Structure 1
Amino acid sequence: MHFAALFSFLSTIAAPLVKQVLKALGIGMVSYFGLQLMVDQVKGYVTSSFSGLPSDVVAILGLAKVDVAVNIMLAAVITRAVVSGMDKATGSITKLGSVKG
């Protein structure tokens, strides 16, 4: 008798909860590794592009803080992807100032 009630509880409450948690973790892991791969490739491409430049040009780019600008752009892309993923997982919509998405 008690086993039937326990099984009923587990099948109606715990099973969908566990299913949702595992689904969220799976999507999160795939998104994280995919995003990490993309960012690593972009950083490698930018680094290889800058390595072929003459040293005078690299010095001017350093003074102009181009490396900081590239990092800011990559951070913005990652932040937008994380917020979008969180919105999909929670079902809510997060606003980031005037960012349209």
Structure 2
Amino acid sequence: MPFLVGIIMTALTGVVGQVLMRVLTGLGIAFVSYQGLNEAFTMASNMINASFSGAPSNVLAIFKIMGIYTAVQIYLASWGSAIAVKLSFRVLRFKK
């Protein structure tokens, strides 16, 4: 009986180790890509806000009422998150 338990534990250790390493690699790549993309999207957001600042004040007031600034921030954040998730899925090789 101890021989059978030893064989099962050896097999499980190999499988769990491989799965754990793939999960940690996927999470690491997602974190690094999200942080890098977050920095890039922050710069893009600043450029968009700078281009809006040249508009007349009544146009800026309409943009603020419509929530354009918030929509741009949400769009950029969701785009960065989607790219990070896609990269981690590519590393983990999940099927869609």
SS of corresponding position for 2:83: helix
1:17 paired with 2:23, answer no
Match of 1:8 in 2: 10
More helix by proportion, 1 or 2? 2
Give the Cα–Cα distance (whole angstroms) in 1 for the partners of residues 9 and 45 of structure 2: 52
* Unaligned stretches of 5+ residues in structure 1: 94-101
1:92 paired with 2:87, answer no
Q: Which of structures 1 and 2 has the larger relative contact order (alpha carbons within 8 angstroms, sep 6+)? A: 2
TM-score (norm 2): 0.61
* Unaligned stretches of 5+ residues in structure 2: none
TM-score (norm 1): 0.59
- State the one-letter code of the partner of 1:92: K
RMSD, aligned α-carbons: 3.2
Give the Cα–Cα distance (whole angstroms) in 2 for the partners of residues 18 and 75 of structure 1: 28
Question: Among the aligned pairs, what percent are the same residue?
Answer: 28
